[in-house]
Amino acid sequence: MSQNLQPVFQIFQKFLLPVIRVLIFTYIGLTIVLYVGQSNLVFMPSKDVLETPANIGLKFEDILLTAKDNVNLSAWFVPAKDNDPIGKGVILFCHGNGGNISNRVSYLPIFQDLGLSTFLFDYRGYGKSEGNPSEEGTYADIEAAWQYLTQERKISPKKIIIYGESLGGAIASYIAQANSQPDSKNSAAGLILASTFTSISDRASELYPFLPIRLLSRFSYNSVERLPNIKIPVLIIHSIDDEIIPFQHGERNFQVANAPKRLIKLRGDHNSGFLDSLETYRTGINKFIQGL
């Protein structure tokens, strides 16, 4: 090595090389943490049931479901009216990744005012449901909910509107794809995706652009891939102010969905946009169900 380059090399060895090593080990460590701990980022369940429909004066049935792998799940059925429990249809509600069904009670008066009954269920590991959440597990859970409504309660699929909120939209799109052939008597009436990402990998790539997310991800939850195969009416609801799932995800889901389809733009944050834009939300859903 020339005498001119030797001082530069010594500086590199003394100062820059340790910094590079720290950066490399930090990157590797972050990658390992993200891979191992991603379940905790995807699922944020709570076991605490904070309130029930009775707290806001609504009658409901406390239901126990059993998934195909024998995991018991907690659910509520909230009738549209005493003398007409089904009403204009049943909202099969798939909630988001946090909390449990007790955190979704504020939706119930809105649906009931629209003449709809609501069936809410907790994924495994949430609320009073047994087990631990997983992607395949949540698909088994929605299958149990669908089977309960259509086989045990004998509700026509044509009366069921599948509703997915945030992560629940990917779960809703799963069951919708399986029950969405327009000429089939087993087809659902429609699909509503509210504040739903295109896929979990798409959103994670936006949050961690410096990491090889698509190689690391152990989850798919891919709504945008399923939507072209869904042949029932679709309603996309998304706030342009959504800070957790950007509005562009709703736009993309709408683009790939088959007609007939609608897009409702709300204002407000991810969790309370439907309340901040209540009239827009109510009117949009009402128009959608009138067209089913």
What does the pLDDT read at residue 208? 78
Would you call 252 helix, strand, or coil by DSSP?
helix
Closest CA relative to residue 238, chosen from 210, 261, 213: 261
Phi-psi region of 282 (alpha: psi -120 to 50; beta: other; left: phi over 0): alpha
Closest CA relative to residue 290, chosen from 161, 110, 179: 161
What does the pLDDT read at residue 195? 98
Sequence-distant (≥ 6) Cβ neighbours of residue 11 within 8 angstroms: none
Global pTM reads: 0.89
What does the pLDDT read at residue 15? 57
| β-pairing verdict for 44-45 and 98-99 | parallel
pLDDT in tens for each of the 292 residues of the chain?
445 555 555 554 555 666 666 666 666 666 666 666 678 889 999 999 999 999 999 999 999 999 999 999 999 999 998 888 899 999 999 999 999 999 999 999 999 999 999 999 999 999 999 999 999 999 999 999 999 999 999 999 999 999 999 999 999 999 999 998 767 778 999 999 999 999 999 998 898 787 766 776 778 899 999 999 999 999 999 999 999 999 999 999 999 999 999 999 999 999 999 999 999 999 999 999 999 9
What does the pLDDT read at residue 24? 67
Contact criterion met (CB below 8 Å) for 172 and 160:
no
Residue-wise burial string across 225-257, b where 16 or more C-beta atoms lie within 10 A, e elsewhere:
ebbeebebbbbbbbbebbeebbeebbebbbebb
Distance CA 234, CA 259 (A): 7
Distance CA 167, CA 173 (A): 10
> Does domain 45-290 correspond to CATH entry 3.40.50.1820?
yes
What does the pLDDT read at residue 1? 46
Distance CA 188, CA 148 (A): 14
